[in-house]
Structure 1
Amino acid sequence: MSQTCDPRAPAAPPCPPSRGSALQAGRGALVAGAAPVAGLIATLWRRYRNRRQITRLLDMDERMLRDLGIERADVQAALYGDHGLDPSVKLSLLRNRSANRARPARRP
């Protein structure tokens, strides 16, 4: 009489690996390898979307840009500068830099 493989039984012999478990292991490796690719695609999509939004700032007049605390030159520098950096991040850095220059020095 042969014993059946039951992994839930306390004294059962070890079960040989099944074809399904090998496929699941391969699928897990595929999913793990796809995660960095999915992250890269998400980053590129976010940069593209942010670039489109910042391009729309160029349609605003000078008064509206001043209300936002930025200048047209800041928007242009963010769009046409380093393409490796998200343009919204660069615009934020430029805005903070120009805000610090425009702020008067504090008195002690």
Structure 2
Amino acid sequence: MTSFRTLGAIALALTAAGCVTTQAPVANAEATMSSACIRTIEMETNNHDVVVLGSDPTGGVWDYTLQVGGTGIWSCMVTSSGQVTNVSFLGSDGSPLA
């Protein structure tokens, strides 16, 4: 019983000293949002040549701008948890279609 207490005290001391690492989060929110948009646009266009051009916060969601196969620009609205709320084709020059 004493050895378990000693090991517990050692583990506590090492943790307090920063010698014991904790498990890092699997993915941060930005990577989650980006991946969700890329997957959604790949499925929508049946094209795996998708590149993120940028992202902007809009209210409670992020608006990602993606280029597909060098031919078209898409918009993807996604929450920080990775839930895609809207995708739309913006055209070959990035402007909304009329």
TM-score scaled to structure 1, two decimals? 0.29
TM-score scaled to structure 2, two decimals? 0.31
Q: Which has the higher strand share?
A: 2
Q: Which has the higher helix share?
A: 1
Indicate the structure (1 or 2) with the bigger Cα radius of gyration.
1
